[in-house]
């Protein structure tokens, strides 16, 4: 055969090319096999348990697949021991294997990782490592140490194989779920009767402004752990309730601390915020809360005719007046919407009214009519700006009238032109037929 | 040569419009004391162009989604420059359009314009009428207001009372068992695509047949000398003037009485007090209210729907049902008009 200059078409080269391609394929397959084998090798327990027909043995492995604990460096053996590299049942015979860790060992077992900053920082440097210490200082921890079998341990709240990160909505300690987790014990009358604790807290919280906020998706609203802390669960003392509320409602707390009520509450031993707002069942505030009426909280301490009632009435009147102005602005915008007026400015104005109302609620905690007047003036001027925007929109609507007048002129001209043309044409081309 | 003549020659050389002009000039329309009623059809077409133009502008801002529909209409009303005016033009045009359409139908019925050889003009017109009513019905739901939701629910519920195919019709119209976002998408699709396509085809057929056969003259003028004028330029100029006046009237109505926006639909809320359908459906409302709950053992609503179906079928096939030479339809036409007005008043109470 004539030699090909390039050599590519030569039979010898074709044979060598085929061998090379077969060899490459084989090598690739081997690499793939090794990689998959290596992947399987790091998850022997779950890899076997998932295939088991017994639901009791399969389910933990299925649940673990979604958990951060599925990480290769943790896996099943972190809690259950055994030989993680043995794919057979002999893994269970290895030293340290524990089919079901005892309840009493759970805190220490979880703490063996979660209280070790050097271990935790490999996975999540931002994760706290004081949970065990906090737990041991908590009421739950004290009960646990005293041998109370009902006292919760880590798995009571976080789950066992289905532990999820706190930010995962499926987690039992996600803000949207944590109240239900606490409820599982604290709303159980039989369980709580041992400790003589009430069981209405969850129901009260659920109807409260905080519970409704969580239900609406506002994850910033307070849940059980925000006031009672998570691991160091303890009811706040009477003197520290305000500090707990003040973590979020800082402005109200600061104003209250400098108001006349602060000294009086201290003298009488009243919890600051709780006295008027309650604790678990904190209701959404309304203007009717201020005053001596049936919904007024002031009547708990102030009686008609006593010192201070004039101040109550003054504050109540100011709040009611602001509320009316804000409501009138909202109603006007709603009417304008139905009438089809342009509303961009008015809606922006309503946002300002809302902000002013929030500031008014804060300013009320000064319990000083002079300071409150600044806030009520702000609401009034925001409401006035809404009305002004609507008036402008109405006048803008009147510009439609000017537009129509201009068009009318053009229409008349055009009609005049058409009528002239029609007259000029006449009916000269009319024909009569049967 | 004047400027006008030069301009016309320039345009004609490039577009050959003279050919179109001569065709239109060849179309002659009768002019007699009843020919004012023949304007109704052309007026309906003029109003349809207002509807389409304003509808296209609204389409730029409307969002056919349950969460966004009402908000987008509120934005058209409140935030888009002249949005409220365009929307009001669309709504007023639709009311006047349906009014003209009904008047056109009754005028054709009373004048018996469907006589041979114009049967297909009537049948295409009847189908057009149904398509237009469908457009009105589907368009009404789009703002997703309380009254729109209720209207769609009631009308699809009525469709569900059709014997045999009722359930299928209801599920087909709603896109499910209930009025949901699927229904809104479906109504939107019907309103902007399917029904306009059907409308275009039927309008082409209807006008094409009218152009071929010419307008009918009343029976009383048959055999007599009737004056006629070429469409171009005489009647075209007159139609142009009518279109200008109609457009101005719609603009004035839209500016003086703009269309508002009632609250957003809440599927779980009770029907608002005093709710009633659009004025052109009040007669159906009146008919149903005048029937007892049960008639001869049959559900009153089902009787009403069956009657309406029979009426619809008779309406479409009217030219084929009439006996030759009979004047019954003349009187039925008048009776129908009086019944329509009466049922509408009854339904509005």
Tens digits of residue pLDDT in A315-339: 999 999 999 999 999 999 988 877 7
B258 touches chain A (CB under 8 A): yes
Asked if pLDDT for residue A238 goes beyond 90, the answer is no
Q: What percent of chain B has pLDDT over 90?
A: 38
Residue A348 neighbours by CB under 8 Å, 6+ apart:
A389
pLDDT score of B311: 87
Residue B186 neighbours by CB under 8 Å, 6+ apart:
B173, B174, B175
B245 touches chain A (CB under 8 A): yes
pLDDT single digits (tens) A72-122:
778 888 889 888 888 788 888 877 888 899 999 999 999 999 999 999 998
Question: What is the SS3 assignment for B227?
Answer: strand
pLDDT single digits (tens) B128-165:
999 999 999 999 999 999 889 988 988 888 888 888 88
Chain A CB contacts of B237 below 8 Å: 418, 421-422, 425
Residue B190 C-beta-side C-alpha neighbours within 13 Å: 22
Residue in chain A lying closest to B26 (CA): A429
Greatest extent of chain A over all pairs of C-alpha atoms, in Å: 125
pTM of the complete model = 0.62
H or E segment to which residue B51 belongs: helix B39-59
Burial A386-416 (b: 16+ CB within 10 A, else e): bbebbeebeeebeebeeebeeeeeebeeeee
CA-based nearest residue to B185, from B131, B133, B135, B141: B141
Question: Minimum mean pLDDT among B176-190, B201-215, B268-282: which range?
Answer: B268-282
**Least CB–CB distance from A342: residue in B78, B234, B255:** B78
Contact B235, A429 (CB under 8 A): no
A422 touches chain B (CB under 8 A): yes
Chain A CB contacts of B84 below 8 Å: 340-342, 397
Cβ–Cβ gap A337/B85 under 8 Å: no
Contact A372, A424 (CB under 8 A): no
pLDDT score of A43: 59
How many CB atoms neighbour CB B290 within 10 A? 13
Asked if pLDDT for residue A383 goes beyond 50, the answer is yes
Cβ–Cβ gap A425/B74 under 8 Å: no
Chain B CB contacts of A434 below 8 Å: 223-226
pLDDT single digits (tens) A352-382:
999 999 999 999 999 999 999 999 999 999 9
Cβ–Cβ gap B78/A407 under 8 Å: no
Which residue of A336, A342, A425 is the best one to mutate when testing the B interface, meaning the one whose CB has the most B CBs within 10 A?
A: A342
What number is the ipTM of this complex? 0.77
* Residues B174, B177: Cα–Cα separation, whole Å: 7
pLDDT band for B45, please (50, 70, 90 cuts).
very high
**Least CB–CB distance from B225: residue in A422, A425, A433:** A433
CA-based nearest residue to B126, from B146, B143, B111, B109: B109
pLDDT single digits (tens) B282-301:
888 888 888 888 878 888 88
B257 touches chain A (CB under 8 A): no
pLDDT single digits (tens) A193-237:
999 999 999 999 999 999 999 999 899 999 999 988 889 887 766
What part of B 77-136 touches A (C-beta under 8 Å)? 77-79, 84-85, 87-88
Cβ–Cβ gap B226/A434 under 8 Å: yes
How many CB atoms neighbour CB A428 within 10 A? 8
- C-alpha separations of B305 from A197, B161, B206, B317 in Å: 65, 7, 28, 18
Cβ–Cβ gap A431/B245 under 8 Å: no
Question: Minimum mean pLDDT among A393-402, B126-135, B169-178, B337-346: which range?
Answer: A393-402
Q: How large is the average pLDDT for residues A46-51?
A: 84
pLDDT band for A8, please (50, 70, 90 cuts).
very low
Residue A321 neighbours by CB under 8 Å, 6+ apart:
A376
pLDDT score of A32: 56
Chain A CB contacts of B251 below 8 Å: 404, 407
Contact A179, A202 (CB under 8 A): yes
Cβ–Cβ gap B237/A404 under 8 Å: no
Q: What are phi and psi of A204, to 5 degrees?
A: -65, -45
pLDDT band for A39, please (50, 70, 90 cuts).
very low
Which residue of B146, B234, B247, B253 is the best one to mutate when testing the A interface, meaning the one whose CB has the most A CBs within 10 A?
A: B234
User: Nearest C-alpha of chain B: how many angstroms from A427?
Assistant: 7
User: Nearest C-alpha of chain A: how many angstroms from B213?
Assistant: 15
Contact pairs from chain A to chain B, CB under 8 Å: 94
A269 touches chain B (CB under 8 A): no
């Amino acid at each position: 055969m004539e030699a090909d200059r390039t050599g590519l078409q030569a039979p010898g080269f074709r044979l060598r090319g085929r061998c090379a391609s077969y060899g490459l394929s084989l090598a690739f397959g081997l690499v793939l096999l090794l990689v998959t084998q290596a992947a399987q090798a790091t998850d022997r327990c779950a890899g076997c348990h998932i295939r088991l027909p017994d639901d009791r043995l399969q389910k933990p492995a299925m649940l673990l697949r979604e958990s951060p604990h599925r990480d290769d460096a943790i896996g099943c053996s972190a809690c259950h021991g055994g030989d993680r590299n043995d794919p057979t049942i002999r893994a269970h015979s290895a030293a340290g294997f524990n089919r079901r860790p005892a309840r009493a060992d759970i805190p220490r077992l979880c703490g063996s990782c979660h209280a070790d900053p050097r271990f935790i920082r490999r996975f999540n440097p931002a994760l706290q490592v004081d949970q065990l210490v906090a737990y041991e200082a908590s009421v739950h921890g004290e009960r646990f140490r005293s041998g109370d079998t009902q006292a919760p341990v880590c798995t009571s709240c976080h789950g066992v194989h289905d532990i999820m990160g706190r930010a995962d909505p499926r987690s039992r300690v996600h803000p949207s779920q944590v109240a239900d987790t606490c409820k599982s014990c604290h709303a159980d009358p039989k369980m709580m009767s041992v400790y003589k604790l009430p069981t209405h807290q969850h129901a009260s919280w659920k109807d409260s402004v905080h519970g409704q906020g969580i239900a609406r998706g506002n994850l910033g609203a307070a849940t059980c752990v925000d006031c009672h802390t998570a691991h160091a669960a303890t009811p706040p003392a009477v003197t520290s309730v305000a500090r707990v509320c003040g973590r979020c409602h800082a402005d109200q707390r600061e104003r209250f601390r400098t108001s006349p009520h602060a000294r009086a509450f201290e003298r009488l031993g009243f919890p600051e915020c709780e006295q008027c707002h309650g604790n678990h069942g904190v209701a959404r505030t309304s203007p009717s809360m201020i005053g001596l009426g049936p919904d007024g909280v002031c009547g708990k301490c102030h009686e008609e005719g006593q010192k201070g009632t004039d101040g109550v009435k003054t504050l109540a009147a100011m709040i009611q007046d602001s509320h009316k102005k804000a409501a009138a602005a909202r109603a006007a915008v709603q009417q304008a919407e139905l009438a089809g007026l342009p509303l961009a400015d008015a809606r922006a104005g309503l946002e300002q009214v809302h902000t002013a109302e929030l500031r008014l609620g804060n300013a009320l905690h000064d319990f000083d009519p002079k300071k409150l007047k600044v806030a009520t003036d702000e609401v009034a001027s925001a409401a006035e700006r809404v009305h002004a925007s609507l008036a402008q929109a109405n006048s803008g609507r009147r510009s439609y009238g000017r537009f129509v007048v201009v068009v009318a002129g053009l229409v008349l001209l055009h009609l005049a032109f058409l009528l002239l043309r029609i007259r000029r044409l006449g009916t000269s081309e009319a024909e009569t037929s049967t | 040569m004047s400027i006008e003549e030069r301009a016309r020659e320039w345009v004609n050389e490039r577009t050959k419009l003279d050919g179109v002009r001569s065709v239109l000039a060849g179309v002659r329309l009768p002019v007699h004391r009843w020919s004012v009623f023949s304007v109704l059809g052309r007026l309906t077409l003029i109003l349809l162009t207002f509807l389409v133009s304003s509808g296209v502008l609204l389409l730029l801002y409307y969002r056919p989604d349950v969460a966004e529909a009402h908000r987008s209409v509120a934005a058209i009303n409140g935030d888009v420059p002249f949005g409220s005016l365009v929307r009001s033009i669309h709504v007023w045009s639709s009311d006047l359009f349906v009014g003209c359409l009904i008047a056109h139908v009754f005028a054709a019925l009373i004048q018996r314009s469907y006589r041979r050889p114009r049967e297909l003009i009537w049948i295409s017109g009847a189908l057009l009428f149904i398509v237009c009513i469908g457009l009105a019905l589907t368009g009404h739901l789009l703002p997703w207001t309380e009254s729109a939701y209720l209207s769609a629910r009631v009308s699809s519920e009525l469709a569900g009372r059709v014997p045999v195919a009722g359930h299928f019709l209801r599920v087909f119209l709603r896109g499910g068992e209930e009025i949901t976002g699927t229904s809104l998408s479906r109504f939107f699709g019907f309103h902007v695509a399917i029904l306009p396509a059907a409308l275009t085809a039927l309008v082409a057929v209807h006008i094409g047949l009218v152009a071929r056969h010419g307008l009918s003259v009343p029976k009383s003028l048959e055999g007599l000398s009737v004056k006629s004028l070429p469409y171009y330029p005489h009647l075209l100029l007159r139609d142009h003037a009518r279109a200008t006046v109609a457009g101005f009237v719609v603009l004035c109505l839209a500016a003086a009485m703009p269309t508002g926006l009632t609250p957003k639909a809440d599927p779980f809320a009770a029907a608002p007090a005093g709710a009633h359908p659009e004025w052109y459906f009040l007669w159906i409302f009146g008919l149903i209210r005048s029937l007892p709950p049960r008639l001869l053992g049959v559900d009153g609503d089902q009787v009403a729907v069956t009657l309406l179906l029979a009426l619809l079928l008779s309406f479409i096939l009217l030219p084929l049902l009439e006996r030759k030479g009979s004047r019954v339809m003349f009187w039925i036409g008048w009776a129908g008009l009086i019944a329509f007005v009466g049922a509408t008043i009854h339904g509005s109470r």
